[in-house]
Structure 1
C-alpha cells in the first residue's frame, strides 16, 4: 500500500488545514495510507487513528524563519525532518509539506537523497496554459532550488522534466524549451548559450529551442528549462500577474456602474472558472525532481484542497514509476 508522509505542522495555517486535508484525502483516495507527523495532543484531539491513518508524535517545528540547513540538521524531531526520514527509511513513499521551502528542499537533498549522478535536483511546479487547450499545463524547471546553476545542471533539468511530463502527465514526446530573451539560437548569456548547445545535442529529449517567457502561458512548450534564479522570478511574476488580474476584474466590477455589477453577476461562474484555470494549486504542488522519492512543496498559504491535490499528485508520481525510470537513465551516465 502506498504511504504518504504529511508534515502536519508546516504552513501558515497548520495544523488545521493539514488535518482537514488528511481527512478529505482518505475519503477520496482508497488504498493509500497517510502518516501524519506533528504535535500528538493537537492531532489526536481532532483525528482518530485507524488502519490507514497513523499519527507520528514530534516535538519540534521548522518555522519559516529557520535557516534551512541548520533547521534540518538541528531539529531532528521536527515534523518535516521526521517525515523526510520516514521516506528515506522506506516507511513512506513520498513527503508533502507546506512548510519552509528552503528547509524542505534541503531535507530532500540531505535526508531523502539525490538520484545517483544527478548534480543538483530542481524544483518543478506545474503552471497553467491559458490559451487553446484550457486545463493543460507545463513544467517550469528549475523554479528556485538552485540560485547558481551550470549548463550541465540545466541539461539534467530538461531530461528530468521531460520524463516527468511523459510518465506522470501523459504527454507524448514532450516539447522542451529553454527560456531566453529571444528565440534565435545564440541568444542570451554565456550560461544560456552553453545550455542551448547541451540541450540541442541531448538525444533523449525533444528540444525545440529557445522560448520567451511571454509565450509560456500560451503553451509554447511542455517543459520550460532555466536556471533556478530566473525560474523563481518567472514563477513569481506569473503567479503575481494572475492574482492581480483576478483582483483587478473584481474591483472594476464591484466599483463600476449598476450595469457592470449586473454583468459581473451574470459572469460569476465564468470568472470563478477563470480563477480556477490560473490557480496553480489545482495541479498540486511543486515537485523536487532528481531525488530518490517524491518531495512535494505546496504554498505556505495552502488550504486543505491544495494539500489534498498535492497528496494525489504524489500518488500519481509513485504509480507512474517516474523515479525508477529516471534513476535507471542516470545510472548509465
Structure 2
C-alpha cells in the first residue's frame, strides 16, 4: 500500500461564477493504492465537484493535487488518460455494441489514431473482463444487459484502460440492494487484487461503512473528515455528521438505526432474535418494549410462542409477531 494521491490545501469550486463559489477548501488528505475509499455526503454538498477536480475535468481553485508524486496540472491529456480512468453514474444508451467492444474502448489511449487493437490490447481486454467475472457476457449486446451487468462492463472498460487510479461517481445508483452489495464487494476485491487506487462517491452509507477501507465525509461547512469507518465512529465524526431527528448512529455496531417515538410502554420478557424483532415491531407502532418497562402488561417469549398478558384480561397465546400486533390493537 503506497500513497498515490495527495491533496495539499486544496480548494474546489467554480471560478466562472461571481463571486467565486467555494465548495470546499483547506483539504489535506491522501488516498492509497490497494484501498477502497468512499466519499460520503449529502446531496449538493460537492462530491461530484471534488471527483471532477481530481479527474482534471474541472480546474481547482487553489492548492495542489499530486498523483504519483506529480502535480496534476503537469500531466498532458494523453498522460492523464493512462493515469486515471473514470466511471460515471449516467446510464449510457448504447445500441449495437457488444460488451467486448465496449470494454475495448478502454484501450483507446494506447491504440493511436486508427484505433487498431494489438494482441497486447486484446490480452488486456480479456483480463479486464475476467477480473470483473463477466466472461459469459462477452458477446452480449450492451443494451440487453441489466443495470448491474452494464455497470460491471463499464468497470471492465476502466480496468482495460490499465490506469493505476480509478474514480467512480455513484456506481451503485441504479442497482437493487443485492447488486449494490455485489458491486461494492467487487470494487473492494479489485482494489486488493490489482493494487489500484479506487475512489468512489456513494449515498449507500451502510455499505460504505461495512466495506470501505477509508471514508471521506464532506460536511456542510466545507470540511472533509478522513479515516477508517471505525475511527470515524469512535471519534464521533459519524454521529455528528448524520445527527438529525429520527436517525441515530450506533457506535457499538458502527451502523445507523431509525429512532421511533413512543407513547406507551410494555414489559417484554425474553432474549435472542425473537426479543429483538418483537421490540422492533412494537416500536414501529409507538410502543416501547423493555425488560424493566414500568407496566403491568407483559409480553413473554416462551420457547417458540408468545404470551400476551394484559392487566385484568385473559392471557393470549400467539405464534407470530403479526398475530401479536393484531391482538394488541384491542388494548393499545
Query: What TM-score does the superposition give when structure 1 sets the normalisation length?
Result: 0.26
Larger radius of gyration: 2
Question: Which structure carries more helix by proportion?
Answer: 1
Question: Which structure carries more strand by proportion?
Answer: 2
